[in-house]
């Protein structure tokens, strides 16, 4: 399967069954949204096949598990719009499910999850438990992400495979030096962590950042 294929699924209704496809779209939650749209179409007496064909034209907004070409023939799984514990685990599930070639690695670039109050430490530790079993390399941004790093080390991940940064752009510049052909890089963090800056540092076509990444308006650029 080509990595850019996205999601395929099958929808059954009464005696009919149609295949569905969401191109360059990843994450099981997108299927649930597609099925809801399909149900609306059925309620309006639209043809099931036509609904399925229309869904194949769907494109997720920037920063919502979008696949972007990275430097050195790598791929970026850009989920930089925002982050919560549930969304972070969902994104890591996608990273785990997408296959890479024999030489490719899975790299997780994760920023702090904010506004969690007294749950912040445990929420980040839970992410550490999950990512340590999925990623070959972990890049972490922000003070709260130290709890992810702690668990990764506890789980036996080698110290040289865990990199910690205070700034997302700094993490992106470091990534430039270590990315190899075939690598798949998930980038995710809360909005205020500005993880899209890390994505911009390693995307193959940074001149297209305005169309491909979140928070590219002049107002955001100045922050």
Residues in the chain: 223
State the pLDDT at residue 3. 59
Cα within 13 Å of Cα(128), Cβ side: 23
β-sheet bridge partners, residue 21: 8
Where in the chain are all domains bearing CATH 3.90.190.20? 66-221
Sheet arrangement for strand 184-188: 66-70, 74-79, 184-188, 106-111, 137-141, 162-165
Each residue's pLDDT, cut to its tens digit, for the chain (223 residues) gives 355 678 889 998 888 888 998 988 898 888 999 999 999 999 999 999 999 999 989 888 999 999 999 999 999 999 999 999 999 999 999 999 998 988 899 999 999 999 999 999 999 999 999 999 999 999 999 999 999 999 999 999 999 999 999 999 999 999 999 999 999 999 999 999 999 999 999 999 999 999 999 999 988 988 8
Return the H-helix or E-strand segment holding 81.
Answer: none
Specify the fold of 66-221: 3.90.190
- Whole-structure pTM over 0.85, yes or no? yes
Name the residue among 115, 137, 113, 134 with its Cα closest to residue 125: 113
Long-range contacts of 205-212 (CB under 8 A, 24+ apart): 205/69, 211/62, 212/62, 212/66, 212/68, 212/78
Express each pLDDT in 92-142 by its tens digit: 999 999 989 888 999 999 999 999 999 999 999 999 999 999 999 999 999
Torsion sign, CA atoms 134, 137, 142, 148: positive
């Amino acid at each position: 399967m080509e990595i850019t294929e996205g999601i395929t699924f099958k929808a059954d209704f009464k005696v009919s069954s149609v295949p569905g496809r969401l191109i360059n779209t990843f994450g099981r939650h997108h299927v649930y949204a597609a099925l809801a749209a399909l149900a609306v179409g059925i309620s309006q007496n639209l043809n099931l096949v036509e609904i399925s064909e229309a869904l194949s034209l769907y494109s997720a907004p920037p920063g919502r598990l979008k696949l972007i070409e990275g430097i050195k023939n790598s791929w970026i799984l850009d989920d930089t719009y925002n982050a919560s514990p549930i969304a972070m685990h969902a994104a890591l599930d996608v990273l785990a499910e997408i296959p890479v070639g024999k030489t490719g690695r899975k790299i997780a670039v994760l920023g702090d999850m904010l506004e969690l109050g007294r749950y912040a430490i445990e929420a980040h530790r839970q992410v550490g438990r999950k990512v340590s079993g999925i990623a070959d390399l972990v890049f972490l941004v922000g003070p709260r992400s130290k709890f992810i790093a702690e668990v990764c080390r506890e789980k036996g991940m080698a110290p040289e495979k865990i990199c910690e940064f205070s700034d997302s752009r700094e993490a992106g510049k470091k990534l430039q030096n270590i990315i190899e052909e075939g690598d798949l890089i998930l980038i995710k963090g809360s909005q205020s962590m500005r993880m899209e800056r890390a994505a911009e540092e390693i995307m193959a076509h940074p001149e297209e950042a305005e169309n491909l990444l979140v928070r590219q308006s002049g107002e955001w650029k100045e922050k």
